[in-house]
Structure 1
Amino acid sequence: MRVYLPATLSMIEHLVAEPGRTFEPVGGTGFALTPALREAYSSGDDEELAEVALREAARASLRLLAVDSSDLPVRRVVVVVDADATPRPDLDDAVVKVVGSIPHADIVAVHVDGADAEEAVKAAVDAVDHADLGDEDSELTIGDVEDHDLGWYATQELPFLLELL
């Protein structure tokens, strides 16, 4: 199953630091095109619905950034993997549980915000919990960051991405 795992740049830095290292999804939580997600939408092909799962993972990345103490830029990161996953419709339509570490070979790509999104990401990190509780202004702040597209990087590009930060 194609799974979108929320991450931070510091997690990518750790992954790149040691060749052959595995990726550790926080709490084993990921997002994917699940049967429940497909049922929740009256239209949309698999590509469009996978984009919904990617956006959910990017939003979860904001929560990880709230507790990240690294000196790296504040950007949303989503690691895309092919892995076995169990749907968790009790949590949300796109949520899945991944057990264990993800081998580097199973990482398909990594999505990362560009530098132009940093201010919007910082504001969204501060607003994400309030948005989840229904605060309209905070939801608009989240919408501002979602206007920024995540860049796509192949795994072999990650060392260069980190070097250019």
Structure 2
Amino acid sequence: MRVYLPSTLPALARMVEDGELGPAPLTGYAVTPALIEWYASGDTEELEYVALTEAARASLRLLAAATGEAEPAGGGRRVVVAAEVADHAVQASADLGEKGRVRVAEPVPLAKVAAVHVDDEYAVADVTAAVAALPAADKGDDDARFVVDGAEAHELMWYATQEIPDLLGS
């Protein structure tokens, strides 16, 4: 099953160093029966894009949680790791709240990573502003929600796994 795992650049660097994304359990997003039911029309590609978008939103929250931590060059960029995970290791559950949200019970080996999706550097200012606005947006502030939506309007760039070292070096 293709799972989209929210991440950050420091976590991506740790994944490369450790040879896996972990520790488990990991929260990810996938095309689940609940997502298919919620998104009544659309093919698999559209549903995977919805799961990727949800993972990008979760990555924004990871960045917000890491505010104040030292970020490497290129920080302030959302990261989503797309990986092929064995079905038995993925649990979709209604109590996880969001449609498409899953729990991955095992660390994900680097060999199972299909691609990485990362904001281009031109998105950093909008992502940084969105991180700062997130608490107010969560409280219903429409202006803050507009700022968060501005970051979400940026499409993530696609990187093959062999490009990850170059991505981390930039």
Q: How many pairs were matched up?
A: 162
1:127 Cα deviation after fit? 2.3
Gaps of at least 5 residues in structure 2 are none
Distance (Å, rounded) in 2 between the aligned partners of 1:137 and 1:88 = 33
What is residue 80 of structure 1 aligned with on the other side? Answer: 82
Residue number among 31, 41, 44 corresponding to 1:43 in the alignment = 41
AA partner of residue 80 (structure 2)? V
Q: Is 2:108 the partner of 1:102?
A: yes
CA separation of 1:26/1:99 partners in 2, compared to 1, >3 Å: closer, same or farther? closer
1:25 Cα deviation after fit? 6.1
What is residue 2 of structure 1 aligned with on the other side? Answer: 2
Deviations 1:118-163 (A, max 9, x none): 0110111122343344332222112111111101111111001111
Distance (Å, rounded) in 1 between the aligned partners of 2:43 and 2:53 = 16
CA contact (8 A) 1:6 1:25 kept: no
CA separation of 1:44/1:134 partners in 2, compared to 1, >3 Å: closer, same or farther? farther
Gaps of at least 5 residues in structure 1 are none
CA separation of 1:93/1:22 partners in 2, compared to 1, >3 Å: closer, same or farther? same
What is residue 70 of structure 2 aligned with on the other side? Answer: 70
Runs of 4+ in 1 over 3 A off after TM superposition: none
Q: State the TM-score, normalizing by the size of structure 1.
A: 0.90
Deviations 1:34-62 (A, max 9, x none): 11111112321111111111111001111
CA contact (8 A) 1:15 1:22 kept: yes
